[in-house]
Structure 1
Amino acid sequence: MVQNVISAGHRVLGGVERCLLAVASAALVAIAALILIEIVGRWLPALRIPDNIIIVRQLMVVSIACGLGWVTGRNGHIAIDLLYRHMAPRWQRICHGLALVAGLVMAVPLVIWVAEDVAALHASNSFYFGELKLPEWPVRTAFLLGLLALAARLCLQLAGLIAGVDETVPADAGHEG
């Protein structure tokens, strides 16, 4: 029963993470295009894009935040596990559980803070300084969604660890190879 719920959670969260990963990928493509246009614009001033530095900065936040849950689900974060590989399986599970708890201790307050920030930005209708007067809330909302996916993935992995479900992300959760 618990394994079915966790597996269903992996599938649902996998779909959400795929959507966020598509957003992150689109942000990276947009960054590359903006930088290319800016380079060509040095010789062709007609191609100048106002506030391109602000746009690239904000797209970087989107590209990183929206991929956090997906990377966490695949255990793709940078890790040095020389000692970890030599531990007994029980100690590996304990270390993994401590890492998940530490991640949640970091992620949950951050989600709360960013959610309050997004709500305040919606209420105040704040804009970035520059020619285009871009609103601040879309980027912060994408950041919040990325953090929510990360926190949900950490919770799901911790629940699986506690329930004894060894599989981090099942093959049908939308994560390839």
Structure 2
Amino acid sequence: MGAPADPRGSVVDRAIRRMSAALGVIAAGALVVLMLATVLDVIVRWITRASVPGMIEVAETALVASVFLGLAWTSVQGGHVAVSIVTDRLRPGAARVVSALVWAVNTGMLAWLGYASVHRAALSTALAETRFGLVQWPVWPLRWIIAAGLALWTIVALVNLLRVLRGGVAYGEDREVVADV
């Protein structure tokens, strides 16, 4: 038997958990901003019958941040929907092969999306891309938020692939809830 596992996890595990938690906190803060902006806009509309200028842009920005910065944290916590109808019926070795294949495809797709997002963010930054509405709003920072969120989520998927290949479980698999239907 090998040495007992470090309960704190490896350096990589701790770094991924800290980075994803930090981005998750920012995502939660963006969700609070979205909520407060919506409440403010509703109150102002009720009183003045007019929206607060720029509120749509603030809401869009907060929504992008809350979604993309929370992806890695949700994955580490096992919060994404998982369907195990196939792997539950397989022997453990075959289930591990299927899981590794799924994580390999997931990692490849996320890497491709991340690459495309970084390319698009760089182009958007070079062009100083803005959104025109009632308020001129910069779009390029949002594109970097998307790229950062996808980059960390890609790293989480890659680490999950490596964990499964080594005979372990992916992040969050130990927290999965089984629904009896």
**TM-score of the superposition, structure 1-length normalised?**
0.84
List runs of 5+ in structure 1 lacking aligned partners. 171-177
Matched, 1:31 2:73: no
- 2:53 alignment partner in structure 1: 50
Deviations 1:31-53 (A, max 9, x none): 11111111111222398421212
Rounded to whole Å, the distance in 1 between the matches of 2:18 and 2:144 is 19
Rounded to whole Å, the distance in 2 between the matches of 1:74 and 1:90 is 24
Of Structure 1 and Structure 2, the greater helix share is in: 1
- 1:80 alignment partner in structure 2: 83
2:42 partner amino acid: I
Kindly tell me: are residues 20 and 92 of structure 1, through their superposed partners in 2, closer, same or farther at Cα, counting changes over 3 Å? same
C-alpha displacement of 1:27? 1.1
Matched, 1:106 2:109: yes
Rounded to whole Å, the distance in 1 between the matches of 2:130 and 2:165 is 44
Deviations 1:100-157 (A, max 9, x none): 1111121111111110111111111111112331211221111111101110001111
Partners of 2:74 and 2:80 within 8 A in 1: yes
Deviations 1:9-41 (A, max 9, x none): 111111110111011101111111111111111
- 1:59 alignment partner in structure 2: 62
The 3-state SS of whatever aligns with 1:44 is helix
**TM-score of the superposition, structure 2-length normalised?**
0.82
1:141 to 132, 144, 148: 144
C-alpha displacement of 1:76? 2.1
Partners of 1:66 and 1:142 within 8 A in 2: yes
2:131 to 128, 132, 136: 128
Is 43-52 or 125-134 further displaced after alignment? 43-52
Rounded to whole Å, the distance in 2 between the matches of 1:150 and 1:43 is 40
- 2:98 alignment partner in structure 1: 95
Is 129-138 or 46-55 further displaced after alignment? 46-55
C-alpha displacement of 1:69? 1.0
List runs of 5+ in structure 2 lacking aligned partners. 173-181
Q: CA RMSD in A?
A: 2.2
Runs of 4+ in 1 over 6 A off after TM superposition: none
1:117 to 106, 117, 120: 120
- 2:178 alignment partner in structure 1: none
Rounded to whole Å, the distance in 1 between the matches of 2:77 and 2:102 is 15
Partners of 1:40 and 1:47 within 8 A in 2: no
